[in-house]
Amino acid sequence: MKKRIENMDVKEKTIIVRFDYNVPIQNGKIIDDTKIYQSLDTINYLLNKDCKIIILSHLGKVKTEEDKMRNSLAPVAERLTEILKKEVHFISNITDPELPEKIKLMPPREIVLLENTRFLDIPNKLESNCDIQISSFLASLGDIFVMDALASAHRAHASTVGITKFLPSCIGFSVEKELAALDKFLNTPERPFTIIMGGAKVEDKLNLIESMLPKCDHLLLAGGLANSFLKALHFNIGASLATNNTITIEKLQSILLNNRDKIMLPLDAVVGSSYDKNYIKYKRINEINENEIIYDIGVKTIEKYKIAIEESNTIFLNGTMGVYEDYRYSNGTKEMLRILKESNKTIVVGGGDSVSSVNHFGYTDAFTYLSCGGGATLEYLTKGHLIGIDSVMEDEEIEVLDV
Ligand code: ADP
Ligand code: MG
């Protein structure tokens, strides 16, 4: 059991918290502040304990100087100030040598947000390579480290893993809630347990499929993922997205052979064409032509999958049924979400695009749990652990000395 924030003596201390403030920003405006709201339980708990709070987060990808311009956390400091009705100090120079002293002089209950930790990657990848010196510097800003960013927990960075080498550490409320939901669902799903998987590339999901197959009763496949399985069964899938790797195809054939009673594949599709952007047609899965591209599942598939859903008690959804970003191919995803909602079963949705599609079609509050950890959620479901959580202290561990 990982150390929980409530089992730490945080009273009047300076607490460094790693959040996931990787929010979508357009023209300097935050367009979805869900992740900021998810951090409030931990912030409010620490404020009630008269702590000083030092917040670390990354935002977007920072590979060049230009990337810095559009990936500043300054708008997050502003939004957090509005939400908390309390000033959040924004520090643009993370490595300011006077910063530890400035923080020491601050009164209790002050909140500081440091600039995007990925700015430390230019030029020397100090954050991403978990540089020991930068980890130690970040640790010198406080007394205790709280890991509260599940979405960043699959990477060993200075602000997630490196810092734990220098400070007593625990998990925050958002990570605790997320892990509890995933654990419950992973270890004791009420059966029949059905997994619905779609999305783009089979290679991205093969490990997840292999680890989840023994745990589930049915696996319903859709999207580009299903194309590769159809190809492995020698269906003509025309110009659809699918793997060309012979080793992967052999693997899919063996998965299909060993799980014949579990796996379901699409019966029909909505297809486009490789030479005509306006072409759209409904096709049975054995009628696809050379130039056609499978972009969505068809009505017969939806009907078949609906029956499997109704016979299940627990359902995990990852990946979209088709190219949901294009309204012409969004019906499969939209209809499946509607059927899932109306089924009133225990439903967990994991994965970045999957959660986005749920929000996009207005089903945000419809399911048991939306896991916002993206790739980290999938890695947790695949491997059963995450490096950024492994590095947090165990409850019985003796606290490491302050630096
Ligand atoms: P998540 O991020 O939740 O793990 P994925 O990224 O695997 O989900 O799945 C969503 C992506 O899969 C979307 O961008 C969608 O366009 C793509 N996709 C779904 N079906 C197809 C298809 N038939 N052909 C190509 N891309 C597809
Ligand atoms: Mg995705």
Query: Looking at residue 148, what is its pLDDT?
Result: 98
Q: How far is CA 262 from CA 62, 74, 238, in A?
A: 42, 49, 26
6: its two tokens: 């409530």
Ligand 1 centre and the CA of 354: distance in Å? 8
Ligand that comes closest to the CA of residue 320: 1
pLDDT tens, residue by residue, 321-357: 999 999 999 999 999 999 999 999 999 999 989 999 9
395: its two tokens: 């409850």
Ligand 2 centre and the CA of 289: distance in Å? 28
CB of 212 within 8 A of CB of 381? yes
Using CA positions, which residue lies closest to atom 24 of ligand 1?
224
Q: Residue 301: in which H helix or E strand, if any?
A: helix 299-310
Using CA positions, which residue lies closest to atom 10 of ligand 1?
199
Residue 200 beta carbon below 6 angstroms from any ligand 1 atom: yes
pLDDT tens, residue by residue, 189-200: 999 999 999 999
**Length, in residues, of the chain:** 403
Mutate to test the pocket of ligand 1, among 320, 328, 331 (most ligand atoms within 8 A of CB): 320
Instruction: Please give the number of the atom of ligand 1 that sits closest to the Cα of 295.
Output: 23
Residue 224 beta carbon below 6 angstroms from any ligand 1 atom: yes
Using CA positions, which residue lies closest to atom 12 of ligand 1?
199
Using CA positions, which residue lies closest to atom 8 of ligand 1?
319
Note if the bond before 24 is cis, omega within 30 degrees.
no
Q: φ and ψ at 382, to 5 degrees?
A: -80, -50
pTM beyond 0.85: yes
Task: Name every residue whose Cβ is closer than 8 Å to that of residue 193 and which is 6 or more positions away in sequence.
Answer: 215, 216, 217, 218, 312, 313, 314, 315, 316
Ligand that comes closest to the CA of residue 292: 1
Radius of gyration of the chain from Cα atoms? 23
Look up residue 11 and give its amino acid.
K
Query: Looking at residue 400, what is its pLDDT?
Result: 56
CB of 398 within 8 A of CB of 157? no
Helices and strands in the chain, H and E counts:
15, 17
Residue 194 beta carbon below 6 angstroms from any ligand 1 atom: no
Ligand 1 centre and the CA of 34: distance in Å? 22
CB of 157 within 8 A of CB of 386? no
Using the structure block, give the residue that is written with the tokens 């100030």. 81
**DSSP string covering 141-152:** T-SEEEEE-GGG
Residue 352 beta carbon below 6 angstroms from any ligand 1 atom: yes
CA distance linking residue 366 with residue 136, whole number of Å:
43
Ligand that comes closest to the CA of residue 201: 1
Instruction: Please give the number of the atom of ligand 1 that sits closest to the Cα of 356.
Output: 3
Ligand that comes closest to the CA of residue 199: 1
> Which residues in the chain come in under a pLDDT of 50?
403
Residue 332 beta carbon below 6 angstroms from any ligand 1 atom: no
Ligand 1 centre and the CA of 390: distance in Å? 30
Using CA positions, which residue lies closest to atom 5 of ligand 1?
199
CA distance linking residue 399 with residue 377, whole number of Å:
28
Q: How far is CA 144 from CA 4, 113, 391, in A?
A: 12, 16, 14
Can you list the alpha helix ranges (DSSP code H) found in 146-195? 173-187
Residue 266 beta carbon below 6 angstroms from any ligand 1 atom: no
Query: Looking at residue 402, what is its pLDDT?
Result: 52
38: its two tokens: 């998810």
Ligand that comes closest to the CA of residue 349: 1
CA distance linking residue 27 with residue 44, whole number of Å:
29
Q: How far is CA 66 from CA 61, 71, 119, 237, in A?
A: 11, 9, 11, 41
